[in-house]
Structure 1
Amino acid sequence: MDILSCAKAFVLIAFLTRNVHSDDYFRMGVNSNAAEAMQFLREYDREASGMCYRVTISQWRFVTNITEYNRRRMLEELAISSKFERLSWRKAAAFDYSRLPDAQSRRQLLKIIQSSRAALPDDKFTEIQQLITEMKEIYNSAKICPYGQKPYDPHVPRPEPNQYPNTYQNQYQLNQPFQHYQQQENVEYSNYCDMQLDPEISRILAHSRIESELLYVWKSFREQTGPKLKSRFVKYVQLANEAAVATGYRDAGEQMRAPYEDSSFRASVEEIYNQVVPLYKQLFTYVRRRLLQRYGETTVRSDGPIPAHLLGNMWAQNWKSIMDLVMPFPQAPNVDVTAEMLRQGFTPLRMFQMAEEFYTSLGLRPAPPEFWRNSMLARPSERSAQCTASAWDFCNRIDYRIKQCTEVTMQDLISTHHEMAHIQYYLQYAEQPQLFRDGANPAFHEAVANAASLSVYNLPHLQRIGLYHNKSHDPYEVSMNFMMSMALEKVAYLPFAFMVDQWRWSIFEDGVQGMNNRWWQMKLRFQGVIPPMPRNEEDFDPGSKYHVVSDQEYIKYFLATILEFQIFEQLCLVSGHKGHLHECDFYRSRDAGRVLSEIMQSGSSKPASDIIRTMTKGKTNRISPESLVRYFRPLELWLRVQNRDEQLIGWSSNYHDVALFAPQRGSGCVAHLSLWLTAALVLLY
Structure 2
Amino acid sequence: MSCTYSVRRFVKKYKWTILIAVLIMAALVAVLVYFLALAHAKDPTIEEEELNAYNLILSINEKMEKNLNRKTLAEWAYASNLTKANLDHNLAVSTEVANFQKEIWRQVNQYNWQQFSDYSLRRQFWYYSVIGEPALPEAKYKMLTKLVSDMESIYSTAKICELNNPNKCDLALEPDLTNIMATSNDEKELKHVWIEWRNSVGPKCKDSYKSYVELSNESARLNNFTDQGEFWLKDYEDPNIKEQIQGLWEQLRPLYLQIHAYVRFKLREKFGDLISEKGPIPAHLLGNMWGQTWDNIAERTLPYPDVETIDYTAAMLKQNYTPIKIFKTAEQFFKSINLTEMPETFWKNSILEKPADRELICHASAWDFYDQKDFRIKQCTDVTYEQMNTAHHEMGHIEYFLQYKDQPVPFRNGANDGFHEAVGDCISLSFETTKHLKKIGLISSASQDSKTVLNNLYRVGLAKIAFLPFGYLMDLWRWDVFSGKTTPDNYNCKWWELREKYQGLEPPVDRSEEDFDPAAKYHIIADVPYLRYFISFVVQFQFHRALCEKAGQYEPNNAKKPLHECDIYENTEAGNALKKMLSMGSSRPWPDAMEAITGQRKMDASGLLEYFKPLQEWLEAENKKNGVFIGWEKTKRVCVRNRQELKTGASDE
TM over 0.5: yes
Inter-CA distance 121–55: structure 2 relative to 1 (3 Å threshold) = closer
Letter in 2 for 1:140: S
Q: Corresponding residue for 1:5?
A: none
Q: 1:53 aligns with which of 56, 69, 80?
A: 69
Asked if 1:235 corresponds to 2:211, the answer is: yes
* Contact map agreement 2:156 2:360 (CA 8 A) in 1: no
CA deviations on 1:553-612 (whole Å, 9 max, x unpaired) are 111011011111110111001101131211101112121012101210100111111111
Q: Corresponding residue for 1:464?
A: 439
* Contact map agreement 2:71 2:94 (CA 8 A) in 1: yes
* Contact map agreement 2:216 2:228 (CA 8 A) in 1: yes
Q: Corresponding residue for 1:209?
A: 185
CA distance in 1, matches of 2:197, 2:358: 27
Q: 2:571 aligns with which of 586, 589, 593?
A: 589
CA deviations on 1:285-342 (whole Å, 9 max, x unpaired) are 0100111111111x21111111112112222111122223212222324444445445
Q: Which moved more, 1:443-452 or 1:117-126?
A: 117-126
Question: How far off is 1:233 after superposition?
Answer: 1.5
Q: Corresponding residue for 2:161?
A: 145
Asked if 1:39 corresponds to 2:55, the answer is: yes
CA deviations on 1:533-571 (whole Å, 9 max, x unpaired) are 222222222122221121111110110111111101110
Q: Which moved more, 1:42-51 or 1:645-654?
A: 645-654
Q: Corresponding residue for 2:140?
A: 124
Q: Corresponding residue for 1:274?
A: 250
Identical amino acids, percent of aligned pairs: 36
Inter-CA distance 613–117: structure 2 relative to 1 (3 Å threshold) = same
Asked if 1:487 corresponds to 2:461, the answer is: yes
Inter-CA distance 333–68: structure 2 relative to 1 (3 Å threshold) = farther
Q: 2:127 aligns with which of 93, 108, 111?
A: 111
Q: Secondary structure of 1:643's partner? A: helix
Q: Secondary structure of 2:155's partner? A: helix
Q: Please, what is the CA RMSD of the aligned residues?
A: 2.8
Q: Corresponding residue for 2:584?
A: 602
Q: 1:441 aligns with which of 386, 411, 416?
A: 416
Inter-CA distance 60–539: structure 2 relative to 1 (3 Å threshold) = closer
Q: Corresponding residue for 1:627?
A: 607
CA distance in 1, matches of 2:114, 2:495: 41
Question: How far off is 1:452 after superposition?
Answer: 1.0
Q: Corresponding residue for 1:162?
A: none
Letter in 1 for 2:125: L
Asked if 1:81 corresponds to 2:55, the answer is: no
* Contact map agreement 1:523 1:530 (CA 8 A) in 2: yes
CA distance in 1, matches of 2:69, 2:611: 40
Question: How far off is 1:360 after superposition?
Answer: 2.6
Q: Corresponding residue for 1:638?
A: 618
Inter-CA distance 547–420: structure 2 relative to 1 (3 Å threshold) = closer
Q: Corresponding residue for 2:639?
A: 661
Inter-CA distance 356–129: structure 2 relative to 1 (3 Å threshold) = closer
* Contact map agreement 2:91 2:142 (CA 8 A) in 1: no
Equivalent runs, 1:429-578 vs 2, <5 Å: 429-470=404-445, 475-509=449-483, 510-512=485-487, 513-578=489-554
Inter-CA distance 210–343: structure 2 relative to 1 (3 Å threshold) = closer
Q: Which moved more, 1:302-311 or 1:371-380?
A: 371-380
Q: Corresponding residue for 1:681?
A: none
Compare the two structures and name the one with the higher helix fraction. 2
* Contact map agreement 2:174 2:362 (CA 8 A) in 1: no
Q: Which moved more, 1:484-493 or 1:208-217?
A: 208-217
Q: Which moved more, 1:645-654 or 1:483-492?
A: 645-654
CA distance in 2, matches of 1:330, 1:222: 34
Letter in 1 for 2:144: I
Asked if 1:321 corresponds to 2:299, the answer is: no
Letter in 1 for 2:430: S
CA distance in 2, matches of 1:411, 1:198: 13
Question: How far off is 1:205 after superposition?
Answer: 1.9
Please give the TM-score of this superposition, normalised by the length of structure 2: 0.84
Question: How far off is 1:104 after superposition?
Answer: 1.8
Question: How far off is 1:194 after superposition?
Answer: 2.8
Equivalent runs, 1:61-100 vs 2, <5 Å: 61-64=77-80, 69-100=85-116
CA deviations on 1:406-444 (whole Å, 9 max, x unpaired) are 555444443333333322222211110111111100111
Inter-CA distance 310–378: structure 2 relative to 1 (3 Å threshold) = closer
CA distance in 2, matches of 1:455, 1:33: 50
Question: How far off is 1:646 after superposition?
Answer: 5.0
Question: How far off is 1:206 after superposition?
Answer: 1.9
CA distance in 1, matches of 2:202, 2:240: 33
* Contact map agreement 2:136 2:222 (CA 8 A) in 1: yes
Residue segments in structure 2 that go unaligned for 5+ positions in a row? 1-45, 555-560
CA deviations on 1:329-361 (whole Å, 9 max, x unpaired) are 223244444454455555554544443332232
* Contact map agreement 1:145 1:193 (CA 8 A) in 2: yes
* Contact map agreement 2:280 2:500 (CA 8 A) in 1: yes
* Contact map agreement 2:262 2:628 (CA 8 A) in 1: no
Asked if 1:650 corresponds to 2:627, the answer is: no
Letter in 2 for 1:90: R
Q: Which moved more, 1:200-209 or 1:282-291?
A: 200-209
Q: Secondary structure of 2:639's partner? A: coil
Question: How far off is 1:33 after superposition?
Answer: 4.1
Inter-CA distance 210–75: structure 2 relative to 1 (3 Å threshold) = same
CA distance in 2, matches of 1:63, 1:144: 21
CA distance in 1, matches of 2:650, 2:318: 62
Q: Corresponding residue for 2:284?
A: 309
* Contact map agreement 1:37 1:100 (CA 8 A) in 2: no
Question: How far off is 1:482 after superposition?
Answer: 1.3
Inter-CA distance 659–478: structure 2 relative to 1 (3 Å threshold) = closer
Q: Secondary structure of 1:365's partner? A: coil
Letter in 2 for 1:371: F
Question: How far off is 1:663 after superposition?
Answer: 6.8
CA distance in 2, matches of 1:73, 1:239: 22
CA distance in 2, matches of 1:389, 1:408: 14
CA distance in 2, matches of 1:376, 1:535: 37
CA deviations on 1:99-123 (whole Å, 9 max, x unpaired) are 3332222222222233512333333
Letter in 2 for 1:588: E
* Contact map agreement 2:564 2:612 (CA 8 A) in 1: yes
Q: Which moved more, 1:425-434 or 1:474-483?
A: 474-483
* Contact map agreement 2:326 2:391 (CA 8 A) in 1: yes
Structure index of larger Rg: 2
Question: How far off is 1:378 after superposition?
Answer: 4.8
CA distance in 1, matches of 2:171, 2:84: 22
Inter-CA distance 238–63: structure 2 relative to 1 (3 Å threshold) = closer
CA deviations on 1:436-480 (whole Å, 9 max, x unpaired) are 111100111110111011111111212222332236x67322222
Inter-CA distance 266–140: structure 2 relative to 1 (3 Å threshold) = same
Please give the TM-score of this superposition, normalised by the length of structure 1: 0.80
Q: Secondary structure of 1:402's partner? A: strand
Q: Corresponding residue for 2:150?
A: 134
Inter-CA distance 414–537: structure 2 relative to 1 (3 Å threshold) = closer
* Contact map agreement 2:426 2:541 (CA 8 A) in 1: yes
CA distance in 2, matches of 1:454, 1:209: 29
CA distance in 2, matches of 1:375, 1:543: 27
Q: Corresponding residue for 2:13?
A: none
CA distance in 2, matches of 1:149, 1:406: 26
CA distance in 1, matches of 2:237, 2:184: 44
* Contact map agreement 1:430 1:437 (CA 8 A) in 2: yes
CA distance in 1, matches of 2:137, 2:80: 35
Question: How far off is 1:507 after superposition?
Answer: 1.3
